[in-house]
Amino acid sequence: MHSILRCFAAVAALTITAPAAAEWREASTDHFLIYADSGERWLKTFADNLERSAAALDKLHPSQDRTASKSNRVVIYAISGTGAVEKLCGKCGSVAGFYIPRVGHSVAYTARTPASSEWGISSDIVLFHEYAHHFLLSSSNGALPRWYNEGFAEFFSTIRTQPDGTVEIGRPAKHRAYNVLNADMKIEQLLDSTGRRDDMSQDIFYGRAWVLTHMLTFSKDRRGQLTKYLEAINRGPPNLDAAREAFGDLNALRRQMEDYVRKPILSLRLPADMVKVGPVSLRPLSPGEAAMMPVRLRSDRGVSRKQALEILPEARKRSAPFASDPAAQVVLAEAEYDAGNDAEAEAASDRALAVDPKNIEALMYKGRARIRRARTAGSRDPAVWSEARGWFVKANRADPDAAEPLQLFYESFEAAGQQPTKNAALGLYRSLELSPQDPGLRIMTARQYVVDGQLAAARATLLPLAYDPHIPAEKNRFTRVVEAIDAKRPIAKILKLGSGAADSAAGDGDTSDAK
């Protein structure tokens, strides 16, 4: 599931024209770590606009502890040119960016190009659409029907930050204007998450979902109905029954939507003093970091063993002059590990730890290599496994709010053929709290909840996947697992269904949200 992509068509630098690339820099904010081969001024403005928009969303939907989330920020690579992004994406087609939800740090690759007309699907629109999906996965532990999932993303996609820091949310979705004004869709088809859609109806669906979300947000006579509807969905009624319970006559709802889009569209303006953000910290990358960036871009994308072996010679060559640079050695450790070279991955991790003993990435790659070596050797020695997973304990102590060490610690018991301890299960639960956007982590956690007999918690954990708008309804076996829990089926049966759902999800590969 780590290979799930949210491919999108025009991710770029908001509404700012990018200058010629200068050197690789990092911008650090509360929500993001951004890497760009750009000038300092461009990067600071880009990062500030992103951070203000994310902070505005947090303001309207408070849900997370900012300290914890800062350990699991979205990593954004802003790259000059769409060709480079398309090459990194692989089989995504003609795109200028893509997003990968992951435990610890989700990753977005964006093309650093000027934004297009607001009447088209511009770069900033698509970027914020995808961030809205990330936010919903990170802040909601319940069912979000497909129309609302996409309608919310479209609602947030038109956000704008003004030069004075004012943030405006809910601006008209002009990129959907044609379908909103000239196409139609039955209200039942919009609200029902189970039906298939071709490309044409998909475009219409996005527009209608935006209309309904916007209307339920701003219409006084519909106030409170969206909350009532989402509560009903999570109790279990079918989509249309929940809609009738919350909205009343669905034909009347449809007629109101038609009238709504022909009137002036309201938006919400948050003054700068209401959207307070921390500073944007800028730094140029060290020579070793910059030298390894071409390798890092490819490795962080996710690679097969074959691809890793192709990358490895370049990784070794570029890292050779920087044996004492922890960042460069961590990238090398990842490249060696991906290529199956555990001893070499350990050696690179050791070089990084010699300079920075609390480097979390180095600690995790050291632990990964030790775990795989123990498994390959078929070790049954508890001391060997305890030593290997101890590196994840060290990583957790270095940053208790980092999600990935907790997941790796839990997985180490499966690698050893052992039942996870109670502490390992508790760590897994905490990992999902810290990084709920990762589908694989969500599946793993739900299964452990079932094993522990916490079926209500398992159901709540699976609901976002059961309603995931990017998994075709006919392939979504998580819905069946939720139904089995509701029907009070035996735990063994639920676990069997859950295993099939996880296998199906892993086999489905790309569930792209292409624009």
Q: Does the pLDDT at position 225 exceed 90?
A: yes
Residue 182 in any domain: the answer is yes
Q: What confidence category does residue 51 fall into, taking pLDDT thresholds of 50, 70 and 90?
A: very high
* Residues 150 and 199 placed together within one structural domain of the fold: yes
Residue 290 in any domain: the answer is no
Distance CA 288, CA 318 (A): 8
Task: Write down the pLDDT at residue 502.
Answer: 62
Phi and psi torsions of 261, nearest 5°: -75, -10
Nearest to 74 by CA among 93, 56, 47: 47
99, β-bridge pairs: 6, 108
Write down how long the chain is: 515
Q: Tokens 């934004």 appear where?
A: 115
Residue 213 in any domain: the answer is yes
* Residues 55 and 155 placed together within one structural domain of the fold: no
- Kindly provide the residue ranges of all beta strands, DSSP E only, lying in 281-360, ordered along the sequence: 281-284
Residue 84 in any domain: the answer is yes
Task: Write down the pLDDT at residue 16.
Answer: 32
Is 182 strand, coil or helix?
A: helix
* Residues 87 and 184 placed together within one structural domain of the fold: no
Distance CA 160, CA 172 (A): 11
Q: Does the pLDDT at position 229 exceed 80?
A: yes
Residue 45 in any domain: the answer is yes
Tokens encoding 424: 């390992």
The residue-averaged pLDDT of 350-374 equals 98
User: In a 10 Å sphere around its CB, with 0-12 CB exposed, 13-18 middle and 19+ buried, how is residue 100 labelled?
Assistant: buried
Residue 85 in any domain: the answer is yes
Task: Write down the pLDDT at residue 196.
Answer: 58
Of 266, 294, 322, the position where a domain reaches its end is 266
* Residues 16 and 108 placed together within one structural domain of the fold: yes
Q: Tokens 């904010």 appear where?
A: 29
Q: Does the pLDDT at position 472 exceed 80?
A: no
Of 266, 296, 317, the position where a domain reaches its end is 266
The residue-averaged pLDDT of 178-188 equals 87
Task: Write down the pLDDT at residue 501.
Answer: 62
Distance CA 270, CA 416 (A): 52
Region class of 340: left (phi > 0), else alpha (psi between -120 and 50), else beta: left
The residue-averaged pLDDT of 401-428 equals 97
* Residues 66 and 16 placed together within one structural domain of the fold: yes
* Residues 50 and 95 placed together within one structural domain of the fold: yes
Task: Write down the pLDDT at residue 464.
Answer: 86
Tokens encoding 247: 């909205």
Angle, helix 478-486 to helix 491-508, in steps of 10 degrees = 170
268, β-bridge pairs: 169
Q: Which domain holds residue 244?
A: 142-161+173-266
Of 235, 266, 297, the position where a domain reaches its end is 266
Distance CA 305, CA 403 (A): 25
Is 493 strand, coil or helix?
A: helix
The distance of Cα 331 from the centroid of its chain, to the nearest Å, equals 22
* Residues 149 and 91 placed together within one structural domain of the fold: no
Nearest to 327 by CA among 365, 275, 294, 286: 286
Q: Are 11 and 97 in contact (CB under 8 A)?
A: yes
* Residues 8 and 110 placed together within one structural domain of the fold: yes
How large is the C-alpha radius of gyration of the chain?
23
Residue 53 in any domain: the answer is yes
Q: Does the pLDDT at position 141 exceed 80?
A: no
Alpha helices in 197-238 (DSSP H): 199-218, 225-235
Tokens encoding 434: 């810290």
For residue 363, give every residue at least 6 positions away whose Cβ sits within 8 Å of its Cβ, in sequence order, or none.
349, 353, 391, 392, 394, 395, 398, 405
Task: Write down the pLDDT at residue 14.
Answer: 32
Q: Does the pLDDT at position 163 exceed 50?
A: yes
Q: What confidence category does residue 215 fall into, taking pLDDT thresholds of 50, 70 and 90?
A: very high
* Residues 155 and 254 placed together within one structural domain of the fold: yes
* Residues 110 and 151 placed together within one structural domain of the fold: no
Q: What is the dihedral of CA 496, 502, 508, 511, to 10 degrees?
A: 140
Task: Write down the pLDDT at residue 148.
Answer: 93
For residue 104, give Cα distances in angstroms to 30, 179, 298, 338. 14, 38, 18, 18
Q: Are 172 and 181 in contact (CB under 8 A)?
A: no
Higher pLDDT, 501 or 211: 211
Distance CA 440, CA 503 (A): 11
Range from 177-191, 282-296, 317-331 carrying the lowest mean pLDDT: 177-191
Of all residues in the chain, the percent with pLDDT exceeding 70 is 87
DSSP state of 3: T
Distance CA 503, CA 499 (A): 6
User: Of 72-86, 185-199, 288-302, which has the strongest mean pLDDT?
Assistant: 288-302
Q: Does the pLDDT at position 272 exceed 50?
A: yes
Q: Does the pLDDT at position 405 exceed 60?
A: yes
Nearest to 127 by CA among 301, 7, 217, 2: 7
Q: What confidence category does residue 512 fall into, taking pLDDT thresholds of 50, 70 and 90?
A: very low
Count: domains in the chain = 2
The residue-averaged pLDDT of 412-440 equals 95
| Strand 107-111, strand 160-161: pairing | unpaired
- pLDDT, averaged across the chain: 86
Residue 202 in any domain: the answer is yes
Q: Are 280 and 54 in contact (CB under 8 A)?
A: no
Range from 152-156, 245-249, 252-256, 462-466 carrying the lowest mean pLDDT: 462-466
Q: What confidence category does residue 508 fall into, taking pLDDT thresholds of 50, 70 and 90?
A: very low
Distance CA 309, CA 325 (A): 23
* Residues 191 and 95 placed together within one structural domain of the fold: no
CB atoms under 10 Å from CB of 471, counted, come to 22
* Residues 157 and 94 placed together within one structural domain of the fold: no
Helix, strand, coil shares of the chain, percent, nearest 5, are 60, 10, 30
Q: Does the pLDDT at position 515 exceed 60?
A: no
